[in-house]
Amino acid sequence: MIELWYQFIDRCLPFDWAHYVFMKNALLAVLVITPVYALLGTMVVSNRMVFFTDVLGHSALAGVAIGVMCGIGDPTWPMIIMAVTLAVAVNIFKRLTQAPMDTILGVFMAFMVALGIALLSRQGGFAKYTVYLIGDILAVTPSQITWLMAIFVAVFGYWYTAGNALILTSVNSSLAHSRRIKTFFVETSFTIILAIVVMISIKLVGVLIINSLLVLPAAASRHFARSMRSYTVWAIVFSVISGVAGLVASYYWGTASGATIVLFSVGCYLISALVSHFLSAVRKE
């Protein structure tokens, strides 16, 4: 299957960067995963979960450390288990108390990061784990891409079935409840999916920037979205464009791909802020 993709690129993209197999793989991975980020990001921003996803991303360090301690070569599973547990715990906690969530999340993040760094830095060995901080999308393998595709299908399927329930719950959870929506189930399933996607992405883009990739496209789209449809579509457009542009630019600039993608996302955010400001000024006149 992947051969077909290589042939397609060779045929259609006669550029310097497109000669390399690692770039072909990375491009496919970006095209598959960025729409997923955009979709999840729309709800993360609407539900004011930006800090929560950041904490989720950072908890990966503790997951990696526990994986290494247990002698598991690929720490993806410990990371996912860790993050899903965290997501469910936070959701339950949120229902039980009125305590300010950001403080609790802050404490939790400190604990996760410190635990991860402490365990991984024993005998001065942290350097070899920096890949988890900044990620390496150029190292993505065809089998990982297959996983990403499965995630793409799962997330879009989930969005298709649960989209309306997510919107109502996000607007007002009591209103959703009165429509017989199981709000706890909706919120929990969403955070679990979020946790899984974030953890799978850590190796690709790293702990430090995964949150930006989720949040920025939706935040940019929010500047001029007039409906849920345009909100979603523009988030996907921004996400894919900055993903591809960032990847290609990182090839020429010799920079880390994930960070370069984020720079393009920030660019989208600023441009959309300016454009929407300009448009509303014109409309007023």
Partner 1 sequence: MPSQDNTQQNILLEGDACQHCCIKINDLGVCLDRHIILEGINLHVHCGDVLAVVGPNGAGKTTLLRAILGEVPYEGNMVSLIGGVERRRPRIGYVPQKLQFDPDSPVSVADLVGAAISSKPVWLGISKKLRDKIKTILGVFSADHLMDRHIGALSGGELQRVLLAIAMTAKPELLLLDEPGTGVDVRGQSLFYELVRGLKKQHHISVIMVTHDLVGIESFVDRVVVMDRTIIAEGTPREVFADERVLRVFEGDPQAALLEKRAA
Distance CA 249, CA 232 (A): 25
Output the DSSP codes for 109-172.
Answer: HHHHHHHHHHHHTGGG-GGGGTHHHH--GGG--HHHHHHHHHHHHHHHHHHHHHHHHHHHHHH-
229 near partner 1, rule: CB under 8 A: yes
225 near partner 1, rule: CB under 8 A: yes
Residues 2-61 that bind partner 1 (CB under 8 A): 42, 46, 48
The minimum distance between CB 243 and partner 1, in angstroms, equals 20
Q: Which helix (H) or strand (E) holds 223?
A: none
The minimum distance between CB 224 and partner 1, in angstroms, equals 9
Closer of 129 and 269 to partner 1 (Cβ): 269
133 near partner 1, rule: CB under 8 A: no
171 near partner 1, rule: CB under 8 A: yes
Tokens of 272: 């959309």
The minimum distance between CB 177 and partner 1, in angstroms, equals 5
Tokens of 83: 């993050």
Distance CA 99, CA 90 (A): 12
φ/ψ of residue 8, rounded to 5: -60, -45
Closer of 128 and 229 to partner 1 (Cβ): 229
154 near partner 1, rule: CB under 8 A: no
Closer of 188 and 257 to partner 1 (Cβ): 188
Q: Answer yes or no: are the C-beta atoms of 100 and 175 closer than 8 Å.
A: no
280 near partner 1, rule: CB under 8 A: no
| Contacting positions for partner 1 (CB under 8 A) | 42, 46, 48, 159-161, 163-165, 167-168, 171-175, 177-179, 183, 221-222, 225-232
